[in-house]
Structure 1
Amino acid sequence: MTPADEPLVSTRRSLHALAVHVISPLRVQATGNEIALQVRPEGFGTPDLPDGSWIATRGPQLVRVDPSGDEHSIAITSLRAAAHFVGLAEPAASALSDETLEIHAGATLRLADVWATGEEALRAFDANAPIHLWPEHFDIAIEAGNATYGISPGDDDHTEPYAYVSPWTPPAKTGPSTFWNATSFTGAERPVTDADDDGEIPAFFRAARDLLTAR
């Protein structure tokens, strides 16, 4: 990992912790069982909750919109502060870490762009499939046919964002010289960069679907 990657990786890890320990649990608290999140402008957050409220990140800020539509925001600092701000119930809120999260404003916006690009690409590929941002892996994805198609902001094996296809049945031939070139899972992957045009990621998804359909 190069020094230029460090703000992106540390910010991703901090936002991932926020998703897992604060924002998704807040949705579970409001709905009883729903954990999935969604893309929001300049970030991610809950869908509208049953009372009409919602929670989201917006760049380096955490935003709470009340049922009345009133909006409140604070800088993202620690998991505990975030939990108290959004109204996560006790004792869960006070049990969270009060250590300062590493949040870099530019990195939050780059990650937001990745999710927004991914959402657009997934809709272009399959306009009818529900798109979810899953807190566990911090990716946005759909299920179509017999595979999962998604965009990851990065993970322990990838410092940079990437698009992926994960078939439910492993392809016959995999490896770096094949289409199914993923290194840390069975499937295909490609980087997501600022140089991608609007059609490149949907084309990658379609190529995978065609190969899966043909076998």
Structure 2
Amino acid sequence: MGNDELALTRRSLHGVAELVLAGPQYRATGRLRLGVVPGGFATTLMPRLRVDGSGVSDSEGATAAIHGRTPRELGAELGVAAGRPEGAYEGGSGVEPDETLAVDPGQAGLILEALALGHDALVAFAAGESPVLWPEHFDVAIRVHEMNFGVSPGDGFIEEPYAYVGVASPPAGEFWNAPFGAAVPLRDLPDALAVAGFFTEGRERAG
């Protein structure tokens, strides 16, 4: 699945999540958390913004297409000042406010499907937790039992969408195949129950 279109679309959506949604929300409320919603992802507080496929919309229904636009242009059209949540974390998407974004609809669909699958799997795994889409890494995750469980749409470690279990010190064994714990591509986990099963196995193996 790894290809330039996927990576470029992921970078652009990550940039929108970070600069157009999380940055304005953080400046308004001091909170970073975004959420996965049907068809995309959204802020959890003010301003009310959401990404559906290849566009960003506000609470009044105004929609701005992402492809070929910059975060600054998107923010101006939606009435917010685009920018990173400065001081909240290091790293992030690397997207600048005046960078032209590129979104392939098919690749965007794969990314959003991965995040939706991750959200559903996390709810099945830990019903009392609220999955968070973090703007720093653009992954949907929870932290329970001092462990991290989540789904990434791909990154520098694995180019394609994958599920992961993060622990402070990975135990010995084939299950623990990543520096941070364990990771499995979503192509090897056919549905939310399979992903939840991977999370459960990780929790049990970690002791």
> TM-score per shorter chain, which class?
0.7 to 0.9
CA distance in 1, matches of 2:117, 2:81: 34
- Summarize the Cα distance change of 1:90–1:48 in structure 2 as closer, same or farther, 3 Å threshold: closer
Higher relative contact order, chain-length normalized (CA < 8 Å, sep 6+): 2
Q: Deviations along 1:133-175, whole A, 9 cap, x unmatched?
A: 000000010011120000000112221000000013x13315x
Contact 1:25–1:88 under 8 Å retained in 2:
no
Find the residue that maps to 2:56 and give its secondary structure: strand
Contact 2:164–2:181 under 8 Å retained in 1:
yes
Structure 2, gaps ≥5 residues long? 85-95
> 1:58-97, aligned counterparts within 5 Å?
58-65=52-59, 70-76=60-66, 77-89=69-81, 97=97
Contact 2:148–2:165 under 8 Å retained in 1:
yes
The one-letter code of the counterpart of 2:36 is: V
The one-letter code of the counterpart of 2:77 is: F
Runs of 4+ in 1 over 4 A off after TM superposition: none
CA distance in 1, matches of 2:9, 2:143: 28
User: Cα RMSD over matched residues?
Assistant: 2.1
Structure 1, gaps ≥5 residues long? none
Distance apart, 1:203 and its partner CA: 0.7
% identical aligned pairs = 36
Query: Which residue number in structure 2 is paired with residue 204 of structure 1?
Result: 198
Count residues with an aligned counterpart. 194
- Summarize the Cα distance change of 1:91–1:125 in structure 2 as closer, same or farther, 3 Å threshold: closer
- Summarize the Cα distance change of 1:198–1:24 in structure 2 as closer, same or farther, 3 Å threshold: closer
CA distance in 2, matches of 1:136, 1:97: 16
Contact 2:20–2:81 under 8 Å retained in 1:
no
CA distance in 2, matches of 1:90, 1:140: 22
Query: Which residue number in structure 2 is paired with residue 22 of structure 1?
Result: 20
Distance apart, 1:46 and its partner CA: 0.2
The one-letter code of the counterpart of 1:41 is: P
- Summarize the Cα distance change of 1:91–1:133 in structure 2 as closer, same or farther, 3 Å threshold: closer
CA distance in 2, matches of 1:189, 1:89: 36
Q: Deviations along 1:16-68, whole A, 9 cap, x unmatched?
A: 1112222101111321x10111112222120143xxx5101111111111xxx
- Summarize the Cα distance change of 1:203–1:90 in structure 2 as closer, same or farther, 3 Å threshold: closer
Q: Deviations along 1:74-126, whole A, 9 cap, x unmatched?
A: 1112111112123224898xxx5434211111111111111110000000000
Using structure 1 for the length normalisation, give the TM-score. 0.83
> 1:1-215, aligned counterparts within 5 Å?
5-31=3-29, 33-49=30-46, 54-65=48-59, 70-76=60-66, 77-89=69-81, 97-168=97-168, 170-173=169-172, 178-182=174-178, 185-193=179-187, 196-213=190-207
